[in-house]
Structure 1
């Protein structure tokens, strides 16, 4: 194992990847909870009814879950809370490794940031229950994508590829790619926020359905422009990242169209909207989870692009400095 202060240890990368993967569990259960309108299954937090987090007879709800809506809601909500505990433990381990192993200061602070973000996300979810505020539910969903992106970035910075500067020097200029990928990231966050408003309707506010749908379709054009700059960089690292983003966005748009059809129906195609049908539940949940993956993949692409630009810039400055010294 390489314990150089300039290179992350393999264990930090492994735990960062595991933490990012585990984060999909509370995200999935949270999406299911929102889809089922089960966010207020319990009136209290952090306890569930009169039970503590770990004493609640959670698995006992399974047998009546199919016929009892209240049990179904409580199964989802308490499962979401337990998944939050799991990701909290993973974040503690990750932060601990980042502080105790000899690694970069950037990675140390990223590990700390992940832990603080997970704690903050849990508190937002708790206050959403205690204050009964749909605005906090929307913020809870939006912040989930940011926390996931931060975890994915940490895993990227902890990878051996991040430290392999020689492979980055052969890339072309990434100035345009940096601007384009940054714009795409903020574009997707706005799009995700609009989706959150639709999923968490608030009194007196119109659901921005058409805006969300229009920006979703337009995102294909935006990602096409970003692809042009990223592929022009001639970096395999950036090309792979761009390919992941492109595939996820196309998938997200397709799932979004299915979600729209399931929610509102398409009479000309014989599709009738049925409230809380399996089609609605599956499509809405898949749309939300894929949205998180899109933001995470775009955040990783953006940080990779900036890394390549940083390495090339300081390599060129080093060459100029050496030339001037001669």
Structure 2
């Protein structure tokens, strides 16, 4: 695609456009706000969708509705409201999960239309199409899990949901105003002439992010998703799994979680030295989120399996008995699942912003 406006005025420049040497004097085409609005709406909706999906698994409600795509023979949107709201709780959350997923699908369709009509970057339209296909794929996986009563498909469905959440975060990033080249330079403490300034608090030059070692967000993303995969193995443990394999997976899950927390501290210490709040703030949020996740993980273990032997000496531990999950127990377990997806989403946000900033800085004269 040929650049038609300068980088300082074109909010939707692609990497190829950023490096273009020619610029037209014509006024830039009006930018539609709807791709950004709908992408953000997807992000806002998908996290509750993951949370409700986690409740479905926590309460073993995945098979409370035996048919799909309808609900007990009714059209999904025509199922009696009184039966849904006043019926059993497992039916309430399973049907609600389906309704929320359908809403996300409609928003994804709107996002594709808005990107096609309102964004000149064709690759954004391709991204929007990928978001829609991912929604459809998630819906099909969930339906197959019901019709085939396959626990493995439930595990796959739970592992691909966070990836879809991360894809929506990417869509929200690339359609936002922070994607503009001039805003990236301003956040990176660059002058209009492209000269690099140093962070007065650390003395670290702003072009330090050109270093190939600045790959912490990518590593964070990989470790965060590994945690989700390990957690899914524990949450959807198959009857054929041996006790030793389960124990090994649990120990690996805990060790990887501690490693992830240490990694977030390293990433935050590096990011805060670059003087860019758009990078340092998400890195600081990751430190807090992983700390909360570790606490929720401890609570989840106690809710599911009782106190570990190392904690048996604590007051009240001897009287704790496993029982059917109450509201607090369910929220602890489901919160652990949902926070894992949120960590993956923030890691994605950090990786996309860093990738954009590094690319913009490499285009400056040395």
TM-score by length of 2: 0.79
- The structure 2 residue matched to 1:193, chosen from 226, 229, 233, is 229
Residue 324 of structure 1 corresponds to which residue in structure 2? none
SS at match of 1:225: helix
Matches for 1:46-85 after TM superposition, within 5 Å: 46-63=69-86, 65=87, 71-85=88-102
**Structure 1 stretches lacking a partner, 5+ long:** 66-70, 321-326
1:123 counterpart = 2:140 = yes
Residues 177-216 of structure 1 mapped to structure 2, 5 A cutoff: 178-205=214-241, 206-207=245-246, 208-216=249-257
CA contact (8 A) 2:84 2:95 kept: no
Deviates more, 1:105-114 or 1:190-199: 105-114
How far residue 14 of structure 1 moved from its aligned partner, in angstroms, is: 1.7
> 1:1-326 counterparts in 2 under 5 A?
6=13, 9-63=32-86, 65=87, 71-163=88-180, 164-167=183-186, 168=188, 169=190, 170=196, 171-174=206-209, 175=211, 178-205=214-241, 206-207=245-246, 208-266=249-307, 267-269=312-314, 270-271=316-317, 272=320, 273-315=322-364, 319=365
Per-residue CA deviation, residues 194-235 of structure 1 (Å, 9 max, x unaligned), is: 111111121212432222122212221121222232223222
Deviation at 1:6?
A: 3.0
| SS class of match (2:109) | helix
3-state SS of paired residue (1:173): helix
For the 8 Å contact 1:58–1:75, the answer to whether it is kept is no
Identify if the C-alpha distance between structure 1 residues 217 and 20 changes in structure 2 by more than 3 Å, giving closer, same or farther. same
How far off its partner does 1:4 sit? 6.5
| Number of residue pairs aligned between Structure 1 and Structure 2 | 310
- Local SS of the residue matching 2:215: helix
Cα distance in 1, alignment partners of residues 259 and 12 from structure 2: 44
* Unaligned ranges ≥5, structure 2: 1-8, 15-30, 191-195, 197-205
Structure whose residues are more often helix by fraction: 1
CA distance in 2, matches of 1:5, 1:307: 13
- C-alpha distance in 1 between matches for 2:32 and 2:214: 28
Distance verdict in 2 for CA 1:85–1:313, change over 3 Å:
same
* Preserved contact between residue 184 and residue 223 of structure 1 (Cα < 8 Å): yes
Structure of larger gyration radius: 2
